[in-house]
Amino acid sequence: MASKGILAKLISNSHAQPSPEFLKKLKAQTGAVKRIGKDLAYYDVEAVQQQKRIDKLIADGADEHDVRKQKEVLEETHQMMPDGKKRLADAQRDLADVLDKFLKTATPEAAAAEEVVAAKALLEEAKA
């Protein structure tokens, strides 16, 4: 997260429109939240597919070594999820902090900027 001085400078130009630096930072943080969320969704899908693959191998009487290896792959997928959830929560918190600080001083016009609205919508979606 940016230091308070840098963040204050980015936000301080919020008279009519957010500063380009602030918008760039906001877009980057919004993109990070989206990317991490997609990663987590992918892990969920991958885990389901991997479990189906394991079930099929077992049903087909596959070699025990092959089944064990596929179970290891499934376990690796499950191990990625807690870290991904933590990274998502951290990214959402950082985005919310920057957005809240900005909105405290922003004019209605600045608060209606496309990037600001998109960031707010993403955070609302995460709460649902």
Residue 4 lies in a domain: no
Residue 47 lies in a domain: yes
pTM greater than 0.85 (yes/no): no
User: Residue 119, class by beta-carbon neighbours within 10 Å (0-12 exposed, 13-18 middle, 19+ buried)?
Assistant: buried
Q: What's the domain count of the chain?
A: 1
Residue 2 lies in a domain: no
In tens digits, the chain (128 residues) has pLDDT values of: 445 555 555 444 444 577 888 889 999 999 999 999 999 999 999 999 999 999 999 999 989 999 999 999 999 999 999 999 999 999 999 999 999 989 888 888 888 889 999 999 999 988 87
Report the CATH number at residue 118: 1.20.58.90
In whole angstroms, give the CA distance from residue 25 to residue 20: 9
Residue 11 lies in a domain: no
Residue 21 lies in a domain: no
Whole domain around residue 59: which residue ranges? 27-101+108-127
